[in-house]
Amino acid sequence: MSGAYALHALNPGEAAGYEAHLAESEQARIEAAELSDTAVALGLATAPVQPSAALKASLMARLATTPQLPPLRAPTVAPAVVRAVPVPPDVVEPAAERPAEASAGPVTPVAASSGGTASERARRRWFRGPVSMLVAAAAAVALFVGGAFAGQAFNSDQFPQQQAAGLAQINSAPDSKRASTTTSDGHKATLVWSTERKLSALLVDDLPELPSDKDYQLWYIGGTGAVSAGTFDSSGTGTVWRVLDGSITVGDLIGVTVEPKGGSKQPTTDPIVAIQSS
């Protein structure tokens, strides 16, 4: 259920059951987190395209002229059929002498087969199959558009694809690792990295939105001091993430500070979060 859980495609009961399993299994928690990260990467792997106004007009025109399937008929209930069985006159008892237990009880109707015709069964399969896939797809769209990548600061048309490719490389690396902590105001922050591929990414849940003249700035903090790893912003909801600029080395401390718009050469504020990569 980890894939469906990552896409928010489980119903409340299933999600509660799976979360109870997550509380007991570190392996399941790692798998669910990795699949969530990958889902975000897949959603950003293709540059968004703005459909033309003509496309909507064309689709609506086709809907108006395309014959639709009739609604599915509800299962019917077949009436109970009681067949009369001839009884020889000499064995018929008078009503007064007939035992009470011999009287007829209530008759329970028998539901007719809900199989229907072959075309009806095929139509039910058609509506059941795509709906489940569309629910998962819609959940994925909600994840990508509704906040999972909200607030990410892009400085070029190629930046989203580069970021998605970087995150996918980290998650697919044989030495991929992760570490989690919380920011100074209690928001979950997760660092994922691969020393083999020298890549790292930071993911933070519900990071507060900053004023327009401020940015969040990432830093590699090592023995030689702090080295900038890029800036980003946040809408305040969802999970904001960024693949760090530059290369990670074993033991680097990854920090985030609040800086003036565009970033600083060196940190000017205390880190709101710091995660060790080893």
Q: What is the band of 46 on the pLDDT scale with cuts at 50, 70, 90?
A: low
pLDDT digits (tens, 9 = 90+) for 247-263: 998 888 999 999 999 99
Q: Which helix (H) or strand (E) holds 204?
A: strand 199-205
pLDDT digits (tens, 9 = 90+) for 206-216: 899 999 999 99
- Tell me what pLDDT residue 69 has: 81
What is the C-alpha radius of gyration for the chain, rounded to an integer number of angstroms? 31
According to DSSP, the residues that pair with 254 across neighbouring strands are 220, 275
**Chain center to CA of 172:** 19
Q: What is the band of 51 on the pLDDT scale with cuts at 50, 70, 90?
A: confident
Task: Give the CA distances from residue 259 to residues 178, 238, 270, 271, in Å, rounded to whole numbers and listed in that order.
Answer: 26, 22, 10, 10
Q: Which residues contact 257 (CB under 8 A, 6 or more apart)?
A: 216, 217, 219, 264, 267, 268, 269, 270, 271, 272
272: nearest Cα among 223, 232, 213: 232
Q: Token digits for 98?
A: 């007939």
Look at 39-48, 122-131, 267-276 and tell me which has the smallest mean pLDDT.
Answer: 122-131
- Tell me what pLDDT residue 103 has: 41
CA gap 45, 169 in Å, rounded: 12
* pLDDT above 60 (res 92): no
Reported pTM? 0.49
Q: For the chain, what is the mean pLDDT?
A: 74
What is the four-CA torsion angle of 208, 214, 220, 226, rounded to 10 degrees? -140
**If you search the block for the tokens 């009739």, which residue do you land on?**
70
